[in-house]
Amino acid sequence: MRYPILSRPHVEEIAAKRVSGIDVDIEAEVEWIGSGDLLQLTTIETLADEVRIGMEQWTDKDIDRYEGQMAQKLYDTLVHIPTEVLDDRGFWRYLSVKYFWNFIVWRQKSAFKPEGNYMSYVDGAKNTETVLVRMFIRTAALGGKSTERLAGGITEAADFWRSHVVRVQTGSAPNIARALAEKQYADRQTTDPIREVGKRLNRTWTNIIMHVYDESEARDIVDEVWNVD
């Protein structure tokens, strides 16, 4: 499959100009790589329009919830794309600046100033930071289907997803991740208590291979680490 990418230097230049208020046409910098059929971008463009419209109508100050709600739609749009494309940071850079730039700026507004750390949100380098990648992984970690209630329903949950799902082993075990999210959804813990739960769960990983746990077993292990006084 042939698909579009942008190099990091090109994205640095594009982003810097946009942050400074200079409009940029990125197409001259886009490179199409691979072989075979061209990747069709129509559904991605349609999703970008939906995300933008929803963003403009969003009134809740907890904008991570909107990110979570759109995460399922992003996942559904991209999941059928070949793995080698999704593994390419250049592809995520392209999506970020071509289709979702305004959403990413809205989501991470404080970073998008000339001296800000805005590149981490568009460069594809860190799964916990790049907005589109972390959205995709949030849904994948929950099993990929019917996750919108959890991905976008937990209030003030940015640190929960980043610290306790996406960047730890739990993110690779959907039944565990779903059980943990369900628990946080039903019995939301503040920062310090959920960090203690996360530490206990991470220690459990050293003794148990939790990838093989079914849904019932996953709920049991999360209950066990949750209820320690």
pTM of the model: 0.93
Could you report the per-residue pLDDT of 4-28, keeping only the tens digit for each?
999 999 999 999 999 999 988 899 9
The pLDDT score that the predictor gives to residue 147 is: 84
Query: Given its phi and psi angles, is residue 5 left (phi above 0), alpha (psi -120 to 50 degrees) or beta?
Result: beta
Could you report the per-residue pLDDT of 73-96, keeping only the tens digit for each?
999 999 999 999 999 999 999 999
How far apart, in Å, do the first and last CA atoms of the chain sit? Answer: 53
Mean pLDDT of 25-39: 94
Instruction: Flag whether pLDDT at 43 surpasses 70.
Output: yes
Spell out where the chain has E strands.
3-5, 31-33
Mean pLDDT of 112-120: 95
The pLDDT score that the predictor gives to residue 208 is: 85
The pLDDT score that the predictor gives to residue 229 is: 60
Could you report the per-residue pLDDT of 129-164, keeping only the tens digit for each?
999 999 999 999 999 987 888 999 999 999 999 999
Angle, in degrees to the nearest 10, between helices 42-57 and 63-78: 170
* Positive/negative CA dihedral, 173, 177, 180, 186: negative
Mean pLDDT of 165-174: 92
